[in-house]
Amino acid sequence: MTIGIIGLGLIGGSIAKECRRAGYKVLGADASEKHKEQAVDFDVVDEVMSVDDLVAASNVIGLCIPVDLIAEKIPLVLNKIKWNQVVFDVGSTKRGICEAVRDHVKRSRFIAAHPLAGTEFSGPKAAVFDLFKGKKNIICEEGLSDEDALRKVVDIFNLLGMQSLFMQADDHDKHMAYVSHLSHISAFTLSLTVLDIENDEKQIFNLASTGFESTVRLAKSNPKTWSSIFENNSEYLSTALGSYINHLSEFKRILDEGDKSKSIELMERANEIKRVLNGMSLNAIKLS
Amino acid sequence: MTIGIIGLGLIGGSIAKECRRAGYKVLGADASEKHKEQAVDFDVVDEVMSVDDLVAASNVIGLCIPVDLIAEKIPLVLNKIKWNQVVFDVGSTKRGICEAVRDHVKRSRFIAAHPLAGTEFSGPKAAVFDLFKGKKNIICEEGLSDEDALRKVVDIFNLLGMQSLFMQADDHDKHMAYVSHLSHISAFTLSLTVLDIENDEKQIFNLASTGFESTVRLAKSNPKTWSSIFENNSEYLSTALGSYINHLSEFKRILDEGDKSKSIELMERANEIKRVLNGMSLNAIKLS
């Protein structure tokens, strides 16, 4: 089987590397000459070529381009494929993408996927083995995809070490606004706040082990990638941000009033996240 | 040399374990019967005893109790020591503590310290080796301490693998409000926001690898410990929180207006934190 990856950044490049390691032939295409050179230099793909040549020569085509371009490009790729070919995307928002292809004659050959993995780095140079291992992959509106097409794409994500879960596109975008996108804005703005006040950068460096470094980590993320994600999910994200700002304002009010028992109560509620994040494995241990 | 640790929680317990490993005799005291039992069961100290017995028998005494009790207890301990003994504390805020002992007749036998290390766990059970290794220790108003007393305490922190830095107490509290305390509130409120909206906890668990898990990590921290820290640093922290809320509100406005170039600009500024956090080591490499 030949897999064609369009867009050889962190995600596309890492999928490509993993598929090559598993013995697939992997073709690559990218709009950037630099990315194409790096993809060859860093052994990310077997060959780079034009999108047309890649589409003609691949059994499964992965569209791993920035999220603001996917909705526009997927119909163009679907136009070119035969009925035995399969296309998937890896975009971080899913509602707009699913809407853009809903009425396409070859909709059933498309799988809307979102592998939940990444680092704060980007480009083919950032592509690594085992990026996806043990993580979740979300597939949206799987009922609109042909069974053989779904099987082929799930097999590829299994190969990456991922568990595939199924979700409605709208639910996906709402959950992601709260659980992922809000975390990124929280970190970006934490960085801005600290950089604003701390003229002495050496002190930030000296004091960063106090929880700051892990909390602010996502502020290193790629601005272009994330501005597109935020734009594509702006409604849910705006609501999530509003809710976050309200919680912070309440905390500030309690702090200003010196209401210690109320602040303890809020933090005890926040502590619940420990149970939620560990919950599954703890339950599993208790049952055995 | 005999070291006495009053307060056998995560920090006190970990200091005790490390000093014992280095061959010191380590005595312990704690207000909690459970902590005293655990400190013996988990080999944290050589012996537990009353505060009075500990103070009488120790060359250096570390006060590792909750931050809201330190200002009250330090003068009481200083009253009891002889001029060749030394007392240090490890509180996360320093202004109030330094003020409480400024006029004490034995002020010069006290060292105001803050080792920048911790985990989200607490109690003697949470005490571990190498908690402090490679981290920074802040010492405030070192000019008010006797040289021999300072030397003894710096030696102990060196033994823990820490580098000691010197800072004014007021500067310490201001820096910590931005770099540490704000990160904690950011995480506590992120947890509250996500728990509010996500009725289905399984989805939080499934989607947590998207940056949420690391950003929210500090929300697992101990509410009593942190409410005292926040209370002791409420002025600077309230200003820091206000500034953070302003940055978030600006980000929300830009998102609502769909001003993508402005959001990219903000995130590029936020990216600067990468240079700040890596800066020192990168510079060091460039120089060599």
Residues A56-93: tens digit of each pLDDT: 999 999 999 999 999 999 999 999 999 999 999 999 99
| Average pLDDT rounded to a whole number, residues A35-52 | 96
Contact A90, A114 (CB under 8 A): yes
Name the percent of chain B lying above pLDDT 70.
97
Contact A139, A154 (CB under 8 A): yes
pLDDT digits (tens, 9 = 90+) for B55-97: 999 999 999 999 999 999 999 999 999 999 999 999 999 999 9
Which pLDDT value is given to residue A230?
A: 96
| Average pLDDT rounded to a whole number, residues A227-232 | 94
The SS3 call for residue B116 is: coil
ipTM metric: 0.89
pLDDT digits (tens, 9 = 90+) for A196-214: 987 777 888 888 887 899 8
Q: How far is CA A160 from CA A120, A128, A238, B54, in A?
A: 20, 11, 33, 58
Which pLDDT value is given to residue A152?
A: 98
Contact A160, A115 (CB under 8 A): yes
Question: Looking at per-residue confidence, does B6 or A211 come out higher?
Answer: B6
Asked if B238 reaches chain A (Cβ–Cβ under 8 Å), the answer is yes
**Low-confidence winner among A15-19, A65-69, A241-245, A256-260 (lowest mean pLDDT):** A65-69
pLDDT at B280 over 60: no
Which pLDDT value is given to residue A120?
A: 74
pLDDT digits (tens, 9 = 90+) for B234-269: 999 999 999 999 999 999 999 999 999 999 999 999
Strand ranges inside A155-278, DSSP E: 163-167
pLDDT at B1 over 60: yes
Question: Looking at per-residue confidence, does B211 or A48 come out higher?
Answer: A48
Asked if B271 reaches chain A (Cβ–Cβ under 8 Å), the answer is yes
Nearest CB to A267 within list B195, B223, B242 = B223
- Residue B36 CA to residue B26 CA, distance in Å, equals 13
Residue of B nearest to A190 (CA): B244
Determine which of B178, B229, B249 to mutate to test the interface with A (most A C-beta atoms within 10 Å). B178
pLDDT at B283 over 70: no
Nearest CB to A260 within list B179, B191, B227 = B227
State both tokens at A136: 């979740």
Residues 6+ apart with CB under 8 A from A210: B116, B118, B176, B179, B180, B183
| Confidence category of residue A160, pLDDT binned at 50, 70, 90 | very high
> What domains are defined for chain B?
2-167 (3.40.50.720), 172-257 (1.10.3660.10)
Burial of residue B121 (CB within 10 Å: 0-12, 13-18, 19+) is: middle
Which pLDDT value is given to residue B119?
A: 80
Nearest CB to B179 within list A192, A204, A272 = A204
**Residue type for position B163:** Q
Which pLDDT value is given to residue B141?
A: 97
| Confidence category of residue A284, pLDDT binned at 50, 70, 90 | very low
Which pLDDT value is given to residue B154?
A: 98
Which pLDDT value is given to residue A211?
A: 86
Q: Structure pTM?
A: 0.89
> Closest approach of chain A CAs to the CA of B5, in angstroms?
22
pLDDT at B47 over 80: yes
Closest by CA to B75, choosing from B50, B49, B99, is: B99
- Residue B74 CA to residue B66 CA, distance in Å, equals 12
Residue with tokens 């500024």, as numbered in its chain = B269
Mean pLDDT of chain B: 93
Residues 6+ apart with CB under 8 A from B265: none
Which pLDDT value is given to residue A279?
A: 64
Question: Looking at per-residue confidence, does B282 or A110 come out higher?
Answer: A110
Contact across the interface for A195 and B269, Cβ inside 8 Å = yes
| Average pLDDT rounded to a whole number, residues A241-250 | 97
Q: How far is CA B206 from CA A156, A165, A216, B12, in A?
A: 20, 9, 22, 36
Contact A110, A88 (CB under 8 A): yes
Which pLDDT value is given to residue B279?
A: 64
Mean pLDDT of chain A: 93
Residues 6+ apart with CB under 8 A from B69: none
Name the percent of chain A lying above pLDDT 90.
85
Which pLDDT value is given to residue A197?
A: 86
Burial of residue A242 (CB within 10 Å: 0-12, 13-18, 19+) is: middle
Name the percent of chain B lying above pLDDT 90.
85
pLDDT at A253 over 80: yes
Determine which of A170, A213, A227 to mutate to test the interface with B (most B C-beta atoms within 10 Å). A227
pLDDT digits (tens, 9 = 90+) for B196-217: 987 777 888 888 877 899 899 9
| Average pLDDT rounded to a whole number, residues B6-21 | 96
A contacts of B202 (beta carbons < 8 Å): 280
